[in-house]
Structure formats: C-alpha cells, structure tokens
C-alpha cells in the first residue's frame, strides 16, 4: 500500500511539474510573440512593453505556484531528512521569488492604474471649455 501511494505521489509530482513547464513556456512564447509584434509595429510605447512584462510575470507566478505544489507533493515521498531539508530550502526560495515578483506586479499595476486615471483626467476637457463636447 505504501509503495502504491509513493508511486501515485511521484506521478502526481511529475504531472504538476509538467504543468509548470507548460505554463512558463506558454507565457514565454506569448511574451516573445508580443514583443516581436511591438518591434515591427511603429509607435510602440513604454506602457505596452510594461503590459507585456506584467502579463509574463503573471505566467511566471502561476508556474512558480505549480512548482511549489510539486515540491510539496515531493516532500511526502522524500525518504531522508536531507531530501526534506533540500525541498524545504527550495520551497523557501520559490516562495520568496513568488512574493517579490507578486509585489513588483502589484506595484506596476498600481502605478499603471494611477497613470491611466491621471491621463484620463488630464485629457478630458472640462465642462464649458471650448474643447468640451456640446451638450444637448
């Protein structure tokens, strides 16, 4: 029974790791394609590049979450304290990477959102100004 559980856990760990690879690979390919599109499109802005970076960061975060899940599954079948210690260290490093990447993404979104609001407010003509649309 124990051997069956260990086999199942190993298969589950491999599947979750494969999912992580697929997720990160898809994110990298998508980001690369979008960057190529920006290169051939005239007038690309810094904001568009930042949006690609944020989206790629989201894919990386998701991939890290899957890798962490695979590490947790792997810790169930680790036979020695040394293996468990290594898995714990890997989990800590991945958790810190995940945390700081998420903080960067949230900060970038907040800054982008503030800039979007500022630009919308600054670009809207005030009521009664010669540029305001006529009401009625």
- Which pLDDT does position 91 carry in this prediction? 81
Residue 71 lies in a domain: yes
Alpha helices, DSSP H only, in the chain? Answer: 2-40, 46-76, 81-123
Mean of per-residue pLDDT scores for the chain: 79
- Phi/psi for 68 (5° steps) reads -65, -40
Residue 84 lies inside a defined structural domain of this protein: yes
**Domain hosting residue 111, numbered range:** 2-122
Instruction: Record the pTM.
Output: 0.68
Mean pLDDT in residue range 65-93 = 82
For residue 127, being part of any structural domain is answered with no
Q: Is residue 42 part of a domain?
A: yes
Decide if pLDDT at 55 tops 50.
Answer: yes
pLDDT at 19 over 60: yes
Residue 127's pLDDT is 46
Domain count, the chain: 1
Q: Quick check: is 131 in a domain?
A: no
pLDDT band, very low/low/confident/very high, at 13 (cuts 50, 70, 90): very high
């Amino acid at each position: 029974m124990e051997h069956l559980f260990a086999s199942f856990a190993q298969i589950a760990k491999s599947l979750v790791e494969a999912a992580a690879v697929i997720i990160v690979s898809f994110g990298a390919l998508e980001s690369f394609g979008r960057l190529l599109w920006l290169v051939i499109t005239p007038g690309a802005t810094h904001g568009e590049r930042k949006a690609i970076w944020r989206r790629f960061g989201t894919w990386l975060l998701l991939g890290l979450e899957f890798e962490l899940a695979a590490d947790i599954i792997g810790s169930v079948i680790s036979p020695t304290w040394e293996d468990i210690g290594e898995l714990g260290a890997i989990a800590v490093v991945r958790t810190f990477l995940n945390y700081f990447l998420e903080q960067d993404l949230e900060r970038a979104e907040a800054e982008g959102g503030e800039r979007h609001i500022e630009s919308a407010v600054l670009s809207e003509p005030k009521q009664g100004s010669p540029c305001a649309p006529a009401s009625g």
